[in-house]
Structures are given as structure tokens and as C-alpha cells.
Structure 1
Amino acid sequence: MKAFQVKDFEMTAKRPSLNSVIAQKKRLAQQQKEQDALLQEDTYTETEQKLMDEAGSMSLIDHLGELRGRIIVALVAMIIGTVVSYYYVDDIIQILIAPAGKLYYTKPTEAFFTYMKISIISGLIVSSPVWFYQIWAFIIPALSKGEKKVTFLIVPSAISLFIIGVLFSYYLVLPTAIEFFIGFGTDGLQPLFSIGQYIDFVVGFIIPFGITFELPLIIVALGALGILSSQRVRSFRKIFILLAFIVGGAISPTPDMLSQTMIAGPMVLLYEISHGILRYILKV
């Protein structure tokens, strides 16, 4: 029997058909169109592009110099805000002590340092647009278009929610707390509030409310990052309501159910608003 021999076969390359060439060109055109669309989404305003161009041409020393300059501008704005606040410090004091009435100071320097403390805190608040802008202008070259949009929403929302929380505490909860503590006075035990201790109490009382009102922003941010979903937030609803009333009972100045509800109620409402934003706006 003759042995089988393997022969080499040369396969000639076939020319592509007209339809395949047309299809390939369409695919390339579609890819180029999608790339152009992505580039179009990342366009920047004239001010933003100028900041990015300057940041791209900077060395480490230049960045440190820019940071120092922005810190100086922020500090000058804070000092100016403090000076302006000190000019109106009497009016600010009258607003803060309104729930308590007449106050006293027991140390020679107590009133002075209390005035300075209020002036500095007010100065930080008054100058916040300036130093917020300095922070934003320094970090914006490192942010993408989507991240910048998030900062445009987060910063105003955080400030607004904090102010709402402080106002809610000052007008609704703080008077109840002061009235409760004054109620311990008797004919032989008269309440005598020191201005320094009172201001410390007021600041320590209303600041937590401002932070608590940031709850929707925190939940929405976690949802945007994919950590939380509307379904998970809904599943935690009963647990959160229980925790809200526990926290309300812990920080409530009075043991009655009304004060506890005044604290827990807004927390539950903010939680439900957060759930609605995740479900109907972000759709996560």
C-alpha cells in the first residue's frame, strides 16, 4: 500500500466583499461619533478651562504657591468677616439670648471672650462664600465634568439643610429646652445663667440639629455612589424610625413625648425624602 503523503496547500486570501467593507466603514463612523459625543460632554466653560490649563502647566512648587495664596485670601476674608461680625455682635447676642432673657457674667473676662467667640463663629459664616470658592477653585482641575456637577449640587444643598436644621432647633426646640431648665427654679433657687455657659449650651445644642439635617444629602450621595439603593433604604425604614425616637429621647431636654416627637419627626421625614429622591429621581 502506498504511504499517505501530506501535501502543503496554499490558500489564497479572498478579497472582502463590498457589503463587509460598507459595514466596517459604518462601524468605524459610529465609533467616531460616540467618541465625539463623549468629548462634547467633557467641554468646560472658559473660566474652568483656564483653571485647568494653568493647573496642567504647574509644577509641584507652583501648586504649593497657589495653595498658599488661596489660604491667605481665605484667612483675610475670615478676618474681615470677624471684624464686621464684632461690629454687630450686640445684635447677634440679643438674638441668641432671646429664649433665656437676662444673663450675667461671673468673671471679668467672660463677656469679652464670649463676644469674641460669637464674632469668630459669625465671621466664618459670613466669609464662607469666599473660602468655599478658594477650595473649589483649587480642586476643580482634578475633577471631571460629572464630579463638578455633583459639587454644584452638594455645596448649596449642604448649606441650606444645615441652616434649616439650625433654624428649626432655635425656634422650636431650644425655647422648650430653656423653659424646662428654668422650671427647676423655686423661691429659694433662682436660675442665674452665665452668658459664657449659656452660649456654649446654645451652640452645642443647635449644631447637632444642623448636622442631623444633612441626612438626606448623605443618603443621596451613598446612593449615587452605588452603596445604597432605594430598596435597601425602604427595608431599613422600621429600624430607622426606632433609632430616631431613641435618639430623640436621648437628646430631648424634656421627658415628654412631644419634645421627643419634635426631634424624631423631622429625622423620619428627611429619611422618607431621601428614599423618594433615590427611587424617583436617581432611580437606584
Structure 2
Amino acid sequence: MATATSERKLFFKRLRKGTDAETEQGEMTFMDHLEALRWHIMRSVIVWLAAAITIFVFIDWIYDNVILAPSSENFVTYGALCRFGHWLGVGDSLCMPPVKIKFLVTEVNGTFTSAINIAMVGGVIVGFPYIFYELWRFIKPALSAKEKKYARGSIFWVSLCFFAGAAFGYYLLAPFTFNFLATFTLGKSGAIQYQPSVNDYIDSLTNLILGCGIAFELPILAYVLAKIGLITASFLKKYSKYAFVIILLVAAIITPSPDMTSQIIVALPLLLLYWISILLVSRVDKQKAKEEKEWS
């Protein structure tokens, strides 16, 4: 524990020395530190705005072929799951009924607001690798040569986990969610007509994509915390039952639909990612033990 505390103190001490390679020669003042952070944020915002504007220019194509795709009966996931169920020999149990949703716009600026939301969220998704790259440039000077070696390829792995989670939310979770919500009925009188607003649909879709993208960063977060010395593999194993409850709560938050199928679809990969995190942290623990043995 003393070693972990000293590592954290050393990290934050190095962080105060600068945020760019050019400033590593001397210690920066607090204002210099804020100025460097300001430029990192500005560059990230510029890239985000450029991606958002590009998406807005092609908003019609993106809305028809990307946003509305999970609610379409011809979406690739529906046919793939049905064929997979037949291959497993379970018949049509994985075949979902066609989804037919007619969206409602109740505000004068409803369609324009929807286009802006799509462009802003899409800009974050498209520009995520560069945004993380700027964050990495800000933190990098605080790392030692050995830590920089360990962190090599971090931009690739963080981006890969994010896009894998986003694809999981878009191609798998969204179809199940919208299929359940579109086919769920309340009462038998037929007095209720299901016609959600387009903004509700877009908000649900973006929450699924961003929520899954962030949730899939769990192994990266565990690796970083293990390197800093905040967690160990034995700690993760000891509190795995509590982690299981937290994962179920996260799955319930990510999925806007209350059906158990969608929540299980989210919970299973999160549990898998948790045990992958334990394996990564175990490797970090072994490496630290080896280094301490060689040092002694």
C-alpha cells in the first residue's frame, strides 16, 4: 500500500511539470498548466465541430440509412439472428417480428432539433480517437519512460473498446430494445396507439450507443487503476459479487426497455469484460511482484 501511495504522489508530481514535450525541461506554473489544457480542449472541440458539421451536411442520408436502420424490419441484425437460431436448431426463437414504427413530431423545431442532436452525438463518436489523443498528450509528460512503454498503443485499444461497445449497442441491443417497445401493448382494447416522438427515439438510440461504448472501457480502466496501484486482482475477485449487482444496475440504466432479454444481453458482455479485467490486473500484479523481487 505504501508503494502504491508513493506511485500516485510521483505521478501527480510529474504532472505538474508540463503537458507537452517542449515544456518537460522546466516546471510549469499553474496558469501555464491551464493554458496548455485550454489548447488541448480547443483542438478537441474543433475536431468535434468539424465532424458534427460534416454529419449535418449529410444528415438526410445518415438519418435514413443509420438512425432509422435499427427500427427497420430489414435491419441486418434481424436476419442474422434468425439464421443463427436456425443454425443452433432452436427454430424461430431468435426471430423477432418485424418492427413498424411511425414517429411523431409535436414541436415546430422538432426535426431541426433532432438533426442537431444527431450531428452533435455523431461528432463525439467519430472524433473520439482524436479527443482521447489530446487527453493522452496532456497526461503523457507525467509518465515515466517505463509507464510510457506500458501505455504504448493505448489510443488504439481505448478506441477499439469504445467502437466495439458502440457497435454492440447499435447492432444488437438497439434492435432488441425497439422490437420489445414497439410490440409491447397495454390492455386489449386497442385504444392506445404507439407513435413515439422522433426525439425520444434518437435519445434512446444515442444513449444505447454511448452507454455501451463507455461501459466497454472497463478493462482499460481496470488496467490503469492497477498500474496506479488502486486495485489488485484479489480485490476484484473478493468483491465480484458486489460487482455483479452493480453490472445488473448498469445494464438496467443503459437499456431503456424494462424487458429482461435486453438487460441480460447487456449484462453478459459486461460480466465477461469484468473477468477480462481481472486477467489484465493479474498480469499487472505479477509484473509488479517480479519488479519488486528484482529490485530487492
> Which of the five TM-score ranges fits, normalised by the shorter chain?
0.5 to 0.7
Aligned partners of 2:140 and 2:148 also within 8 Å: yes
Q: 1:65 to 1:58 in 2, by over 3 A?
A: farther
Q: How many Å separate the matches in 2 of 1:251 and 1:57?
A: 45
Residue type matched to 1:81 in 2? Answer: A
Q: Within the alignment, does 1:211 sit opposite 2:218 as a pair?
A: no
Question: What are the ranges of 5 or more consecutive residues in structure 1 without an aligned counterpart?
Answer: 1-50
Contact 2:173 2:262 in 1 (8 A): yes
Taking only the aligned residue pairs, the percentage that are identical comes to: 28
Shift of 1:270: 0.9
Which has the bigger relative contact order, CA under 8 A and spacing at least 6? 2
Larger radius of gyration: 1
Change (3 A) 1:154 1:282: farther
* Equivalent residue in structure 1 for 2:247, among 221, 244, 248: 244
Residue among 88, 101, 116 paired with 2:58:
88
**1:192 offset after TM fit, Å?**
0.9
1:52 matched to 2:21: yes
Instruction: Look up the match of 2:267.
Output: 264
2:104 alignment partner, SS class = coil
TM-score norm. by structure 2 comes to: 0.65
**One of 53, 60, 71 as aligned partner of 1:100:** 71
Please state how far the C-alpha of 1:212 moved relative to its aligned partner.
1.9
Question: What TM-score results when the alignment is normalised by the length of structure 1?
Answer: 0.68
Question: What residue is the counterpart of 2:238 in the other structure?
Answer: 235
Alpha-carbon shift at residue 76 of structure 1 (Å): 3.1
Question: Unpaired runs of 5+ in structure 2?
Answer: 1-19, 73-101, 289-296
Deviation at 1:87, TM superposition (A): 1.7
Correspondent of 2:200 among 190, 193, 197: 197
Q: Distance in 1 between matches of 2:56 and 2:147?
A: 38
Whichever residue aligns with residue 259 of structure 1, its letter is S
Deviation of 1:196 (Å)? 1.2
Shift of 1:266: 1.0
* TM-superposed deviation, 1:79: 2.7
| Equivalent pair of 2:236/2:278 in contact (CA under 8 Å) | yes
C-alpha distance 144-99 of structure 1, shift in aligned 2 (>3 A): same
- Tell me whether 1:188 sits opposite 2:159 in the alignment: no
**Is the Cα contact below 8 Å between 2:227 and 2:284 reproduced in 1?**
no
Offset at residue 104 of structure 1 (A): 3.1
Give 1:175 shift.
1.5
Contact 2:215-2:270 within 8 A present in 1 as well: yes
CA distance in structure 1 between the partners assigned to 2:253 and 2:238 by the alignment: 24
Q: For 1:64 and 1:232, locate their aligned partners in 2 and report how far apart those are by CA, in whole Å.
A: 36
2:46 aligns with 76
Alignment-mate amino acid for residue 115 of structure 2: Y
